[in-house]
A = this chain, B = another copy of it.
């Protein structure tokens, strides 16, 4: 893969444990973030001296690249996040006393993690138990998005990342009050990596040689995926049937999730010694 299509390996993002599960290419990292319904965002609300604990917020977010009106260039891919404009996190980029401002950094240093759990891996011994998963971790500087065009782009993007085409099928455009009370952050990516486990149980030779134990201990994988149920209309709903863009998407997500979680169990784990 050409270097331009992957994140550079630096000490921050290089996976040290189980390197064979790691990848740095844009497509894998971005697709994991965009297929996770919830991402976890970590940041330091204050300086280490004031409070040494980083914090984590579960948020809705996705990747995107904005092309300003009349511009020929589209920006690099970033992670867009949103929240109430009065929340602590949304106000942090413009806070003059926050650690990043004091240190003259270009934005709030954050980490965005997205994880899909694809199955429980039951090996013969607890030591070899694991999960099948797809995990992406991104580090970058978060900025408040103030440009109205970019903010609108991000809100449409995030809404459609919940269910494709939802934006145009809902009551849009947002009112000025709605726009004002929604904060959008753009995380400009500095480094990123993905880690994937997608195979059956890995057992040690010594355990496989113990046939008596193997007749007693079940080993294999329990596939897992996010299942979307039958949509439940609100009492106030006036649309007779569930629209195709909702129903069709649910059907597709369930089929893809079920199939992926089952099929990866058939791949062989790397040989153990």
Using a CB–CB cutoff of 8 Å, the interface residues on chain A facing chain B are: 12, 16-17, 37-38, 40, 42-44, 47-49, 51-58, 60, 83-84, 86-88, 99-100, 103, 105, 109-113, 115, 117, 119-120, 122-127, 129, 131, 133, 135, 137, 139, 155-156, 159, 162-163, 166-167, 169-172, 174-175, 178, 181-182, 190, 200-201, 203, 207-208, 210-211, 213-239, 242-243, 246, 250, 257-258, 261-262, 265-266
Contact = CB atoms under 8 A, between A and B. Distances in A.
Count this chain's copies in the assembly: 2
Given A122-B166, A124-B170, A219 B207 contact: no
A165 B239 CA distance: 47
Given A217-B169, A223-B228, A224-B226, A126 B40 contact: no
A200 B133 contact: no
B51 A48 contact: no
Contact of A139 (B53, B124, B137, B223): B53
Contacts of A86: 17
A87 to B, nearest CB: 5
Given A215-B238, A227-B258, 13 more contacts: A52-B100, A54-B54, A56-B56, A125-B171, A126-B155, A163-B222, A171-B213, A200-B232, A211-B238, A219-B233, A219-B234, A223-B230, A227-B227
20 contacts: A38-B115, A38-B133, A40-B115, A53-B110, A56-B137, A57-B137, A124-B170, A127-B178, A215-B239, A218-B237, A218-B243, A219-B236, A222-B246, A223-B229, A223-B231, A224-B227, A224-B228, A225-B227, A226-B227, A232-B265
